[in-house]
Amino acid sequence: MLTGPNIILILKAAVGLVTVLWIASLVALLRKRYRLHGQINLAFMILTLVAVFGLEFLIRVYDPDMFKYFDPATRRIMAIHLCFSVPAAVLLPVMYVTGRSRWRRTHYTLAAVFSLCWIGTFITGIFYLPHS
């Protein structure tokens, strides 16, 4: 059943799984497997954007009251989480284009900002958002 706690649990699993992809992408990069790095990042981007748009559909169309049960502390945690996850999601397509275009300086700068955003997304999403 699609309830708020179930959606949070599904999103935690999604964040965990795509983080494994992100780490695999970094390993490919360290091994100078640039094409594999790009392919993994494409999968990472697609999966992340599907999750973001899927959540937006659920809370805007399917059940706008899905997270009404959040208390003020949980709403604050969710707001902090979104401060990391939304910029990360926005940066993904830009990073993909700069990587494919070989705009290295821009890509590296965005990669550093994205990494900070993704670490924040992971920590707040996995450890702080309640799923019960």
Q: Give me the tens of pLDDT residue by residue for the chain, a chain 132 residues long.
A: 788 889 999 999 999 999 999 999 999 999 999 999 999 999 999 999 999 899 889 888 998 888 888 899 999 999 999 999 999 999 999 999 999 999 999 999 999 999 999 999 999 999 998 877
Cα 102 versus chain centre, distance = 23
Q: Which residues contact 74 (CB under 8 A, 6 or more apart)?
A: 129, 130
What is the pLDDT, as a whole number, of residue 97? Answer: 96
Q: Full-prediction pTM beyond 0.85? A: yes
* Count of beta carbons in the 10 Å neighbourhood of residue 130: 15
Domain that holds residue 77: 4-128
Nearest-angstrom CA–CA distance, 37 and 65: 39
**Encoding tokens for residue 63?**
């059940």
Nearest-angstrom CA–CA distance, 80 and 13: 19
Number of domains the chain is built from? 1
Closest CA to 27 of 41, 48, 13: 41
